[in-house]
A and B are shown apart, each in its own frame.
Chain A
């Protein structure tokens, strides 16, 4: 591949990566269209099923997402190579846990070391699972209040109207209590 076309390809990759960061449907679709067949082939040729290939690919995209979400993200290789490497790593791990054999298929594609990214992804997974757990333990209406205020960026007045509090102060107090409880739940599960 010439330098010129390589540059163009990299540019296209970066556009997709940006789309992934935004959760853009078109970019995600392109990811599937361009890279899923290779992954499917790899998994199916190594005692996997199509369903397993879908799961592996999905997880790989989330790994990419986690990486992209980091502030200092920079794409160091072709996107194809990256996705393939992550998928291969993930599939190896699954096979290892199931005690199935893996025929080395590195010959088909280039691979790069992705262990660090996977570690980051796992850490993130753990944290977010804890957050999920904490939120589920928090219960209603606290969860919705927290969600509306901190994630949906609703104002206290709107929340007040939605939940039918007599005045905004009551709502504020309620929100504060909910937040404190959530923090407590979250940090205790961490410990």
Chain B
């Protein structure tokens, strides 16, 4: 019986296949015969197995960790490669496309700006044009002529060119000298003169303005003025119908001008309910002229037109006019304002009507 150390050594040799044939058989027989030895052999063998598998597993784990790490590091690259083409393209041209987009936006807006698009917008948002006549150009010529004449006569030089000079139309509302026109005609006026169709000129004062409705009330203040007979037309307060045959008389030039058309809409510029849209060709100077229907009722006052649109003229409704007049403080009236109630035009032909009315329509000159 050998000692344990020796025996273990033998076992190691046996397990490592270092024993040759006879020795091996002898060893095996020894173990079979000796129970303690057999147990020792079994235990040792098992133990070594454990040890080996432990070592193997450690190595395997290391290997696995290494492979896993490599895979995970590579997986991201693979994921990048596997991206759809559109994503790849996007990544590639992201910066370029952003630059292109900014350039395009810049180009669009600068082109719009250069081509005056924004000015057009501004224009269309306020394409209402008030129809007062600028007579500066005419007046300048006249002034120049006058100056020449004066220079010849007196040798003195005088500069009396007025800063502004406008014209419009006004019509009698009450025979004792009250005339209605547009506020925009007399705005900023130093003095107002009315000229009748016969050529007589009267001074007038602005006694009331209503900028909201673009209305002004004038009072003739001149010793040469003889009150007229009763006003031949009446004022129609109820709304007129679409298609109503209407006409106007005004002074787009120094001579009285007749214009004819029809009522085309119940509302005025931008849906203004205090005005009508009428289809009468009107021009600067027509502002403040009366709009009459076929029976000689005043249904409105010409106030302006829409630029860029044919035949869209606007007239303030009589209703607004009368409301406005009713609001005039009685203090500012030295004579009662009598609105005509009797219509003497009803059965007359148009030419007869116009002949009668024109005496009551004045050219408003503003200095």
Binding site for B on A (CB under 8 A): 23, 25, 28-29, 32-33, 36, 54, 57-58, 61-62, 65-66, 69, 124, 127-128, 131-132, 135, 146-147, 150-151, 153, 172-173, 176, 179, 183, 186
Task: Verify B65–A131 contact, CB threshold 8 A.
Answer: no
Q: Please, how many angstroms separate the alpha-carbon atoms of A28 and B9 in the complex?
A: 38
Given contacts A173-B5, A176-B5, contact A151 B66 (CB under 8 A): no
Task: Verify B51–A146 contact, CB threshold 8 A.
Answer: yes
Task: Verify B68–A128 contact, CB threshold 8 A.
Answer: no
Task: Verify B54–A131 contact, CB threshold 8 A.
Answer: yes
CB within 8 A of A54: which of B56, B57, B60, B72?
Answer: B72
Could you tell me the distance in whole angstroms from the C-beta of B364 to the nearest C-beta in chain A? 86
Given contacts A54-B68, A172-B9, contact A65 B51 (CB under 8 A): no
- CB contacts (< 8 Å) of B72 on chain A: these are 54
Closest 9 CB pairs of A and B: A32-B71, A28-B67, A131-B54, A151-B55, A176-B5, A23-B60, A23-B63, A128-B54, A29-B67
Task: Verify B63–A58 contact, CB threshold 8 A.
Answer: no
- Cβ contacts B52-84/A at 8 Å (1 or 0 each): 111111011101111110111001000000000
Task: Verify B65–A65 contact, CB threshold 8 A.
Answer: no
Is B322 in contact with chain A by the CB < 8 A criterion?
A: no
- CB contacts (< 8 Å) of B51 on chain A: these are 131, 146, 150-151
- Cβ contacts B2-16/A at 8 Å (1 or 0 each): 000100110000001
Known: A23-B56, A150-B51; 15 extra A-B contacts, CB below 8 A, are: A23-B60, A29-B70, A54-B72, A62-B61, A65-B60, A66-B57, A124-B53, A128-B50, A128-B57, A131-B51, A151-B52, A172-B9, A176-B5, A176-B8, A179-B8
Binding site for A on B (CB under 8 A): 5, 8-9, 16, 43, 47-48, 50-57, 59-61, 63-68, 70-72, 75
Nearest-CB residue, chain B, relative to A69: B53
Majority-rule SS of A interface residues: helix
- CB contacts (< 8 Å) of B57 on chain A: these are 62, 65-66, 124, 128
Task: Verify B47–A28 contact, CB threshold 8 A.
Answer: no
Q: Please, how many angstroms separate the alpha-carbon atoms of A183 and B67 in the complex?
A: 34
Q: Please, how many angstroms separate the alpha-carbon atoms of A150 and B55 in the complex?
A: 10
Could you tell me the distance in whole angstroms from the C-beta of A103 to the nearest C-beta in chain B? 25
A-B contact pairs, 7 of them (CB 8 A): A32-B71, A65-B60, A69-B53, A131-B54, A132-B54, A146-B51, A183-B43
Given contacts A62-B60, A172-B9, contact A29 B47 (CB under 8 A): no
Q: Please, how many angstroms separate the alpha-carbon atoms of A25 and B70 in the complex?
A: 10
- CB contacts (< 8 Å) of B64 on chain A: these are 23, 28, 58, 61-62, 65
- CB contacts (< 8 Å) of A146 on chain B: these are 51
Q: Please, how many angstroms separate the alpha-carbon atoms of A128 and B47 in the complex?
A: 11
Nearest-CB residue, chain B, relative to A27: B67
Q: Please, how many angstroms separate the alpha-carbon atoms of A128 and B75 in the complex?
A: 32
CB within 8 A of A29: which of B9, B55, B71?
Answer: B71
Could you tell me the distance in whole angstroms from the C-beta of B110 to the nearest C-beta in chain A? 49
Q: Please, how many angstroms separate the alpha-carbon atoms of A58 and B68 in the complex?
A: 8
CB within 8 A of A127: which of B50, B59, B65?
Answer: B50
- CB contacts (< 8 Å) of A65 on chain B: these are 57, 60, 64
Task: Verify B53–A25 contact, CB threshold 8 A.
Answer: no
Could you tell me the distance in whole angstroms from the C-beta of A50 to the nearest C-beta in chain B? 8
Could you tell me the distance in whole angstroms from the C-beta of B51 to the nearest C-beta in chain A? 6
CB within 8 A of A131: which of B9, B16, B50, B70?
Answer: B50
Task: Verify A32–B68 contact, CB threshold 8 A.
Answer: yes
Could you tell me the distance in whole angstroms from the C-beta of B61 to the nearest C-beta in chain A? 7
- CB contacts (< 8 Å) of B5 on chain A: these are 172-173, 176
Q: Please, how many angstroms separate the alpha-carbon atoms of A96 and B160 in the complex?
A: 105
Q: Please, how many angstroms separate the alpha-carbon atoms of A150 and B60 in the complex?
A: 18
Task: Verify B47–A36 contact, CB threshold 8 A.
Answer: no
Task: Verify B68–A147 contact, CB threshold 8 A.
Answer: no
Task: Verify A23–B71 contact, CB threshold 8 A.
Answer: no
Task: Verify B70–A150 contact, CB threshold 8 A.
Answer: no
- CB contacts (< 8 Å) of A132 on chain B: these are 54
- CB contacts (< 8 Å) of B52 on chain A: these are 150-151
Q: Please, how many angstroms separate the alpha-carbon atoms of A172 and B309 in the complex?
A: 119
Could you tell me the distance in whole angstroms from the C-beta of A137 to the nearest C-beta in chain B? 14
